[in-house]
Amino acid sequence: MNQPFVTRSAPAALIGLVLLSACGNQDPPADRSAPTPATAAETPFAIGQMAPDFTLKDTHGAEVKLSAHRGKAVIVDFWATWCAPCRLVMPHLQELSLAYPEQLAVLAVSLDQDPASAVPPFAERLGLTFTLLADPQGMLVARQWGGVRNIPTSFLVDPEGKVVQRWIGVHGREEYEQEIRKVLGLPG
């Protein structure tokens, strides 16, 4: 007896969703090599600690320092252009950056091997206007943030500079927004 298409394809769809929930940064597509691991050891890191500060250059060459955003909530997102789940998160981050322009900064740290050539056309294609950064040391900043192993991995930093939330993989905009509103003291 033939099973309905939905029943036969449901396990395959579930497996596909699980695989797409996050990309391991060690496993980019075969035509790209993995970001070069930094030589620095991973820093012990936990939610509730002060966010490890960093200074990176954005896609326009300007230096951006995390601590310069004190007083705002900040999403620090580790991602890459070749990562399908990362591409699903980007529109959520764009919407949130527009919804809270004075209260939220989005700093997206690209772990692409050549972000200078990969990120600008990607950002233009998606209409991204939030801050896109490149980690020139491969994954040095990601290691300082506890050794990001899967992307996208996003952290929420409160206005005082403490890390209050970590998301791994794809999450709905509402989930991000609920936590942002909490740290900003806005009604849910």
Mean local confidence (pLDDT), 26-42: 39
Among the listed residues 83, 107, 163, 183, the single catalytic one is 83
- Per-residue pLDDT reduced to its tens digit, 83-125: 999 999 999 999 999 999 999 999 999 999 899 899 999 999 9
In the predicted structure, residue 31 carries a pLDDT above the cut 60 = no
Examine residue 6 and state whether it is found in any structural domain, yes or no: no
* pLDDT at res. 89: 97
- In DSSP terms, which residues pair with 104 in a beta bridge? 73
Amino acid at 120: P
Examine residue 72 and state whether it is found in any structural domain, yes or no: yes
Mean local confidence (pLDDT), 28-48: 49
Into how many domains does the chain fold?
A: 1
DSSP conformation class of 66: G
Q: What is the CATH number of the domain that holds 72?
A: 3.40.30.10
Examine residue 13 and state whether it is found in any structural domain, yes or no: no
pTM for this prediction: 0.80
Q: Identify whether the C-beta of residue 93 lies closer than 8 Å to the C-beta of residue 106.
A: yes
For the chain, percent helix, then strand, then coil, each to nearest 5? 35, 20, 45
Q: Is 83 a catalytic site residue? A: yes
Q: Which domain holds residue 61?
A: 22-184
Among the listed residues 23, 51, 66, 86, the single catalytic one is 86
Examine residue 167 and state whether it is found in any structural domain, yes or no: yes
Examine residue 117 and state whether it is found in any structural domain, yes or no: yes
Examine residue 5 and state whether it is found in any structural domain, yes or no: no
Q: Can you list the alpha helix ranges (DSSP code H) found in the chain? A: 5-20, 84-99, 115-126, 140-144, 173-184
Examine residue 60 and state whether it is found in any structural domain, yes or no: yes
Separation of alpha carbons 17 and 28, rounded Å: 18
Separation of alpha carbons 84 and 68, rounded Å: 31
Separation of alpha carbons 105 and 142, rounded Å: 18
Examine residue 108 and state whether it is found in any structural domain, yes or no: yes
